[in-house]
């Protein structure tokens, strides 16, 4: 990495290792130019694409390789292969080690609680984007529904099995339920055959779960926060749902860029400090800045609807 000017935008190759897939993002001068997904087993293809992306940053003043993972077991080989191939430092984000990059988001959690780095990165990116209290719905291997208050503090949330995990569990846990792909149910609200019934149970179950949690968060908060969805199944599950204000497929990658800016360009970013429960007190609607954020959503929501994965 070169670091000649603290006033320059940072360029990145971001490597996000999930439980099922690995996603790569190329940031040029702070802007996400493209992202691409691979199955986690495609190590050679991942290394090849990271190498191609890295060569595109040769002329950038400040550049870095950053990696975040929720699956350390499957990350060891990838990290070793990338280090051998590129000979560059790879910054780790939020993995709990002393030299890892912190995620620039305050937390209000029970002592010794360590949420997944993907949840914190989503929260950091959503708050940076909206500057408002918000709820983040991540639809991937698991479904998470997390709350960030109007001061940019992450309070935690809920975790449930994702759509494909539910379908797989029904097949594995029974003698007669088949293996079926995840698709959006169409036609009557009731399934007239077993696969349709399974799809409806999973699809509407997840949507109902998220609706109920959002209602509970809003009641506790004293206002209705903006709701952002992300993850590989977000468009399928919530693309037509009025509950969701915005779908941002690359939210975790954007959070990784925010972490890199905070760590490598500290003069340009002020991270939110951690807050204790006693300091925060009861949640209140006065923390929200919903009007400004709603203006942002109104101006560009339609453009972003065309970019979902």
Residues annotated catalytic, as ranges: 118
**74, two tokens:** 């499957």
Q: How many CB atoms within 10 Å of residue 295?
A: 9
Distance CA 46, CA 52 (A): 10
With vertex at residue 36, the alpha carbon angle to CA 180 and CA 202, rounded to the nearest 5 degrees, is: 25
Cα distances (Å, whole numbers) of residue 206 to 41, 89, 154, 236, 237: 28, 40, 22, 11, 8
Q: Show the tokens assigned to 238.
A: 């919530």
What span, in angstroms and rounded, lies between the C-alpha atoms of 219 and 213? 10
Here the tokens at position 29 are 């001068």
Closest CA to 47 of 65, 32, 69, 59: 65
Length of the chain: 309
């Amino acid at each position: 990495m070169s670091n000649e000017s603290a006033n320059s935008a940072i360029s990145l190759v971001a490597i996000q290792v999930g439980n099922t897939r690995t996603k790569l993002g190329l940031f040029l001068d702070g802007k996400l130019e493209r992202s691409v997904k691979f199955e986690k087993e495609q190590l050679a293809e991942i290394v090849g694409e990271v190498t191609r992306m890295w060569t595109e940053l040769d002329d950038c003043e400040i550049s870095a390789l950053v990696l975040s993972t929720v699956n350390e077991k499957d990350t060891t080989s990838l990290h070793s292969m990338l280090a051998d191939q590129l000979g560059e430092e790879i910054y780790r984000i939020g993995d709990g080690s002393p030299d890892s990059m912190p995620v620039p988001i305050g937390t209000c959690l029970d002592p010794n609680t360590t949420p997944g780095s993907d949840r914190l990165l989503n929260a950091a990116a959503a708050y940076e984007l909206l500057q408002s209290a918000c709820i983040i719905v991540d639809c991937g291997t698991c479904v998470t529904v997390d709350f960030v208050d109007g001061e940019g503090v992450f309070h935690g949330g809920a975790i449930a099995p994702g759509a494909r995990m539910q379908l797989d569990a029904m097949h594995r846990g029974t003698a007669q339920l088949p293996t079926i792909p995840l698709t959006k149910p169409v036609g009557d609200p009731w399934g007239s055959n077993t696969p349709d019934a399974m799809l409806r149970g999973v699809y509407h179950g997840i949507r109902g779960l998220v609706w109920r949690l959002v209602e509970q968060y809003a009641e506790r908060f004293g206002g209705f926060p903006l709701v952002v969805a992300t993850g590989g199944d977000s468009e399928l599950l919530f693309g037509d749902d009025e509950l969701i204000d915005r779908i941002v497929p690359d939210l975790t990658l954007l959070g990784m860029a925010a972490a890199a800016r905070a760590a490598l360009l500290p003069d340009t970013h002020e991270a939110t400090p951690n807050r204790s429960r006693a300091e925060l007190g009861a949640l209140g609607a006065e923390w929200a800045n919903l009007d400004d954020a709603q203006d942002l959503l109104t101006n560009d929501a339609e453009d972003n609807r065309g970019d979902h994965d």
